[in-house]
Amino acid sequence: MSNKAASATQEFLDSSQYSLKRILRYERIFGHTWVSTGGETTTKDFLIKLGLRPGQRVLDVGCGSGGSAFFMARNYGVHVHGIDLSTNMINIAQDRLSREDKEVRDKVKLEVADTTKVQYNAIYDVIYSRDTILHIPDKEQLYKNMHAWLKPGGTLFVTDYCRGDRQHSKEFIDYVKQRGYDLRTVPEYGRVLEQAGFKDVQAVDLTQTFISVLTSELKYFEPTREAFILEYSVEDYNEIVGGWKQKLVRCAAGDQAWGMFIAKK
18 close to 88: Cβ distance less than 8 angstroms: yes
Q: What is the pLDDT of residues 181-238, one digit of tens each?
A: 999 999 999 999 999 999 999 999 999 999 999 999 999 999 999 999 999 999 999 9
H helices, E strands: number in the chain: 12, 7
SS3 262: strand
Give CA separation, 170 vs 52, 111, 167, 255, in Å: 42, 37, 10, 10
Above pLDDT 90, what percent of the chain? 91
Give me the pLDDT at residue 223, please: 98
**pLDDT means over runs of 10, the chain (265 residues):** 54 63 93 95 97 98 97 98 95 96 98 96 97 96 98 98 95 94 98 98 98 98 97 96 97 98 98
Average confidence score pLDDT of the chain: 94
Give me the pLDDT at residue 17, please: 62
Give me the pLDDT at residue 20, please: 86
Quote the pTM value: 0.92
Question: Distance between CA atoms of 50 and 35, rounded to whole angstroms?
Answer: 21
Give CA separation, 5 vs 32, 63, 83, in Å: 31, 21, 18
Q: Classify each residue of 55-75 as buried b or exposed e, where b means 16 or more C-beta atoms within 10 Å of its C-beta.
A: ebbbbbbbbbbbbbbbbbbee
Where would I find the beta strands (DSSP E) of 62-123? 79-84, 108-112
CATH class of 3-264: alpha beta
